[in-house]
Amino acid sequence: MKYFHRQVQLWGEEIQLLLQTKKVAIVGSGGLGSSLAFALGSSGIGEIHMIDFDEVSHHNIHRQIAFKIGDEGKNKAVLNAKLIEQRNPHAKAFSHECDFKTWSKKNIDVDLIIDATDNLPTRAEVNSYAKEKNLPWIYGSVEAFHGQVAFIDESSFSDAFKIVQKTPEGIATPIVMHIASLQANLALRFLADLSVKKDILYYLFFDKDGELITQKFNLPKSE
């Protein structure tokens, strides 16, 4: 328990031991996925599955904090899984060099799925799989200086988000880390059996005057 001393001070040994029994799948190992790997990989979750078919590109390293110059061409999931185990000897991290649909056919039992992707079709697949397996999942997206987070349980992503195609803007590195941090906090609270507000979309952005605004919206229940 020395490794988790400050967390044990926060919630006690019983919850810390509980986290070691939990299993999480992180879909996407780039910007959000890298930050999630850092946050959750060091928090005591016993088993983490990193899913991504993609390789590191030079122009993405600035916001994908698990990678460094020289990692170009290497699989993102493999690097993140290796980093998790290097930083936390108590964690088991598995890399899956494939897309989510392929991973879903492996029938791996997890307690929670966390979205770290950058496209709507994959999120729709995550939503369908979560409904089929009766699993909650955490949605997150980032663009420019704003982002969105939601813990999805009874709601349906497909009902709440109707956009099918959109050209993305650029992304500032800190907002990626901020949204991933919020996702990680929701995940930890849920896995530690602490209260979590579900089916609420949190939308965070900086207005034209530079003020951080947080809005929240109730998501529609799944039909």
64-109 pLDDT, tens digit each: 999 999 999 999 999 999 999 999 989 999 999 999 999 999 999 9
* Distance, CA of 69 to CA of 77 (rounded, Å): 17
pLDDT in tens, 134-166: 999 999 999 888 999 999 999 987 766 655 555
pLDDT in tens, 21-56: 999 999 999 999 999 999 999 999 999 999 999 999
The pTM score is 0.94
Asked whether the beta carbons of 64 and 34 are under 8 A apart, the reply is yes
Domain ranges of the chain: 2-218
The rounded mean pLDDT for the chain is 93
pLDDT in tens, 100-136: 999 999 999 999 999 999 888 999 999 999 999 999 9
* Distance, CA of 27 to CA of 23 (rounded, Å): 13
Q: What is the mean pLDDT of residues 190-203?
A: 96
Q: Which residues contact 167 (CB under 8 A, 6 or more apart)?
A: none
Q: At 112, phi and psi to the nearest 5?
A: -160, 145
Architecture of domain 2-218 in this structure: 3-Layer(aba) Sandwich (3.40)
Asked whether the beta carbons of 51 and 100 are under 8 A apart, the reply is yes
pLDDT (0 to 100) of residue 111: 98
